[in-house]
């Protein structure tokens, strides 16, 4: 089969590799669509230092079951499936508590966040454990289905963890893939005001299509003043989905008394200036969220199946596997959101 193999930092080669064999509880998936995530790009660029080369990345994907291991029970050949990037054991103490994303024996498929890393979906075929498979509804395209995991991540952070409520005023920092998906969820959840903050006018304009009610370019105006001009009482919730450390600083700077915050986007090392006394007296409610677990994957599928959210709306580019290098180059461009690879 063909696969995009990351041989070293910035050395991505599309070449023939052996097609893996499905045994045990594994299913061989014929990959139809796979999104390029910032995690994948960081592996390519060298910003992620925990990559073991050679590696096949790609963890946002959907496809068709080609072959089944002898222990697969609930799926059959030809099933159209959505794949979660997290495979959990189901029996360790973390899984039993409901935190499958912390699984002590688990593995991540083509991504980051666990010690065990399986080959990902920048390939014609990849292996997926049965408990990471979900049946794809017929009315969801493969391209949109590939974005089930990022949609599930935004849903988990915004709804399950930060508990966005109807009529609340929300600020989202970062109009990338996750911020735009969060805006779509917030719109359907009944948020009153959805203020999008970014440094790109192009992305801010794009966020209007995804439910943002107000736009703030933090390079052109004082972001805090702009937010409080729109909502004088301040935000109920600030959802940081940008990534750079200054975004985390801005998240806390925007707080009034009782504001809830979710540190969702920043994964790079570093510190910001935050006063514990201010957090105490302002009763700032802090949260964070990474990865997904089965329940939010199922909710993400339902959001798409019932027409509440069109995850495909954030797709700006589609490329064949042979042009994945072009996709990585696009990750540096301002005028793109989600790049989909179609092996």
Whether 109 is covered by a domain: the verdict is: yes
| Same domain assignment for residues 284 and 297 | no
| Same domain assignment for residues 16 and 146 | yes
CATH number of the domain that residue 102 is part of: 3.90.180.10
Per-residue confidence band for 49, with pLDDT thresholds at 50, 70 and 90:
confident
pLDDT at 259: 98
What angle is formed at CA 31 by the lines to CA 131 and CA 7, rounded to 5 degrees?
A: 100
| Same domain assignment for residues 36 and 121 | yes
pLDDT at 114: 85
Note the pLDDT tens digit of each residue in 83-96. 999 999 999 999 99
Q: Is 112 helix (H, G, I), strand (E, B) or coil?
A: coil
pLDDT at 111: 86
| Same domain assignment for residues 167 and 95 | no
Neighbours of 275 (CB within 10 A): 11
What average pLDDT does the segment 202-216 reach?
Answer: 97
> Quick one: what percent of the chain has pLDDT higher than 70?
100
Whether 158 is covered by a domain: the verdict is: no
Per-residue confidence band for 249, with pLDDT thresholds at 50, 70 and 90:
very high
What H or E segment, with its residue span, contains residue 250?
helix 245-253
Domain that holds residue 131: 2-150+292-342
* pTM, rounded to two decimals: 0.95
| Same domain assignment for residues 176 and 125 | no
- Rounded Cα–Cα distance for residues 50 and 35 (Å): 21
Whether 155 is covered by a domain: the verdict is: no
Whether 187 is covered by a domain: the verdict is: yes
Domain boundary among 288, 311, 331: 288
| Same domain assignment for residues 9 and 114 | yes
pLDDT at 269: 82
Whether 156 is covered by a domain: the verdict is: no
CATH number of the domain that residue 195 is part of: 3.40.50.720
| Same domain assignment for residues 7 and 87 | yes
Note the pLDDT tens digit of each residue in 266-311. 877 899 999 999 999 999 999 999 999 999 999 999 999 999 999 9
| Same domain assignment for residues 202 and 279 | yes
Whether 128 is covered by a domain: the verdict is: yes
Domain boundary among 288, 303, 328: 288
Q: Which of 120, 100, 95 is nearest to 109 (CA)?
A: 120
| Same domain assignment for residues 137 and 171 | no
| Same domain assignment for residues 215 and 299 | no
Whether 300 is covered by a domain: the verdict is: yes
Per-residue confidence band for 48, with pLDDT thresholds at 50, 70 and 90:
confident
Burial of 185 (0-12, 13-18, 19+ CB in 10 A): buried
DSSP line for 53-81: SSB----EEEEEEEEE-TT--S--TT-EE
Mean pLDDT (the chain, rounded): 96
Q: Is 155 helix (H, G, I), strand (E, B) or coil?
A: helix
Per-residue confidence band for 113, with pLDDT thresholds at 50, 70 and 90:
confident
| Same domain assignment for residues 241 and 312 | no
**How many independent structural domains does the chain possess?**
2
Note the pLDDT tens digit of each residue in 68-80. 999 999 999 999 9
| Same domain assignment for residues 107 and 231 | no
Q: What is the DSSP letter of 268?
A: S
């Amino acid at each position: 089969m063909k696969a995009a193999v990351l041989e070293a930092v910035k050395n991505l080669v599309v070449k023939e590799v052996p097609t893996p064999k499905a045994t045990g509880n594994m299913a061989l998936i014929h990959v139809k669509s796979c999104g390029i995530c910032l995690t994948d790009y960081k592996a390519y660029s060298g910003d992620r230092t925990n990559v073991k080369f050679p590696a096949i990345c790609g963890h946002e994907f959907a496809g068709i079951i080609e072959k089944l291991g002898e222990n697969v029970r609930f799926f059959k050949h030809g099933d159209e499936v959505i794949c979660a990037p997290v495979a959990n054991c189901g029996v360790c103490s973390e899984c039993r508590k409901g935190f499958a994303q912390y699984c002590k024996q688990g593995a991540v498929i083509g991504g980051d966040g666990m010690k065990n890393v399986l080959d990902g979906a920048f390939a014609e075929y990849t292996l997926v454990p049965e408990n990471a498979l979900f049946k794809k509804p017929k009315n969801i395209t493969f391209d949109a289905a590939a974005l089930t995991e990022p949609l599930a991540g935004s849903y988990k952070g915004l709804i399950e963890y930060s508990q966005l409520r109807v009529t609340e005023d929300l600020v989202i920092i970062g109009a990338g893939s996750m911020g735009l998906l969060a805006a779509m969820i917030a719109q359907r959840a009944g948020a009153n005001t959805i203020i999008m903050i970014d440094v790109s006018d192009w992305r801010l304009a794009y966020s209007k299509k995804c439910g943002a009610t107000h736009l703030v370019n933090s390079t052109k105006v004082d972001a805090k003043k702009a937010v409080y001009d729109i909502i004088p009482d301040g935000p109920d919730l600030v959802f940081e989905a940008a990534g750079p450390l200054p975004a985390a600083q801005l998240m806390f700077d925007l707080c009034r008394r009782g504001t809830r915050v979710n540190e969702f986007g920043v994964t790079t090392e570093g510190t910001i200036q935050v006063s514990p006394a201010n957090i105490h007296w302002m009763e700032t409610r802090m949260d964070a969220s990474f990865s997904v677990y089965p329940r939010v994957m199922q909710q993400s599928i339902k959001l798409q199946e019932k027409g509440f959210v069109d995850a495909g709306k954030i797709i700006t580019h589609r490329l064949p596997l042979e042009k994945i290098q072009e996709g990585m180059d696009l990750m540096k461009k301002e005028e793109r959101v989600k790049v989909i690879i179609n092996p």
